[in-house]
């Protein structure tokens, strides 16, 4: 009987740990990422606290616009744990997004985090698409002006488009030190190795010729997370 109770308790604990899984919580004041460690953990191993300096918690450059001279007319300055070691185990990250006139941050998702977007300059059209429902995939979108904020739920495809003829700037915050990024078109048509064309052709109801052409394009990544 006791063995059965222990087994049931262990299974419930395991199920709860998976159900409540998110970024690892700190067990000390901080755990600055040690990029040189060979220890494999969920996140990064901690740097020796004696070697930690204020620079480990410091990032500069968010006041400077990034170049938007690309096909999408947008660029992202990402501040995640790979670029700011002091974020390790803290469960937060942020980014600055610059948009040229009519620039686009294309449809994408963050598998490990929700996002809140704050418009600092300009006017954006932003929105997200729900998971499958009996009424289809619903679009929630809104015109945002300077001072507005909009939330994108975790894992859902979302986008921002500069509908003004002037430059725009927004800042995004995330509930993960490494929110992840899946750009929809890049993932479908730019995967390595490529998804077989006959699978994509049937899935998106296009000819294999069109799919092949799409797979030959250079899909731009404006927010590389590596």
Q: Is 158 annotated as a binding residue?
A: yes
How far apart (Å, rounded) are the C-alpha atoms in residues 211 and 174?
A: 34
| Beta carbons of 93 and 80 less than 8 angstroms apart | yes
* CA angle centred on 114, ends 123 and 42, rounded to 5°: 140
Q: Is 105 annotated as a binding residue?
A: yes
Q: Is 108 annotated as a binding residue?
A: yes
Quote helix, strand, coil % in the chain, to nearest 5: 20, 25, 50
CB under 8 Å to 157, separation ≥6 — which residues? 107, 108, 109, 128, 129, 184
How far apart (Å, rounded) are the C-alpha atoms in residues 161 and 172?
A: 14
Q: Alpha-carbon dihedral of residues 103, 109, 114, 120, nearest 10 degrees?
A: -10
Alpha helices in 34-175 (DSSP H): none
Q: Is 115 annotated as a binding residue?
A: yes
Strands, E assignment, the chain: 74-79, 93-99, 104-109, 115-121, 124-129, 139-144, 149-152, 158-162, 168-174, 182-183
Q: Is 18 annotated as a binding residue?
A: no
Q: How far does the chain reach from its first CA to its final CA, in angstroms? A: 51
Instruction: Please give the annotated binding residues for Mn(2+), written as ranges.
Output: 108, 110, 115, 158
Instruction: Please give the annotated binding residues, written as ranges.
Output: 105, 108, 110, 115, 158
Instruction: Please give the annotated binding residues for oxalate, written as ranges.
Output: 105, 110, 115
């Amino acid at each position: 009987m006791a063995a059965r109770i222990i087994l049931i308790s262990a299974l419930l604990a395991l199920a709860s740990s998976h159900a409540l899984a998110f970024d690892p919580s700190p067990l000390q004041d901080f755990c600055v990422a040690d990029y040189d460690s060979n220890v494999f953990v969920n996140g990064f191993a901690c740097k020796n606290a004696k070697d930690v300096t204020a620079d480990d918690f410091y990032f500069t450059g968010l006041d400077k616009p990034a170049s938007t001279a690309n096909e999408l007319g947008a660029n992202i300055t990402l501040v995640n744990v790979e670029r700011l070691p002091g974020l390790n185990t803290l469960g937060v990250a942020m980014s600055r997004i610059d948009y040229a006139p009519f620039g686009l941050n294309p449809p994408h998702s963050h598998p490990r985090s929700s996002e809140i977007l704050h418009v600092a300059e300009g006017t954006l059209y932003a929105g997200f698409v729900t998971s499958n429902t009996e009424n289809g995939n619903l679009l929630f979108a809104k015109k945002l002006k300077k001072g507005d904020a909009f939330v994108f739920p975790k894992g859902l495809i979302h986008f921002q488009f500069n509908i003004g003829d002037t430059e725009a700037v927004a800042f995004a915050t995330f509930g993960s030190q490494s929110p992840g990024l899946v750009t929809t078109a890049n993932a479908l048509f730019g995967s390595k190795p490529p998804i077989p064309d006959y699978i994509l052709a049937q899935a998106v109801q296009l000819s294999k010729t069109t799919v092949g052409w799409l797979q030959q394009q250079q899909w731009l990544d404006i927010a590389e997370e590596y």
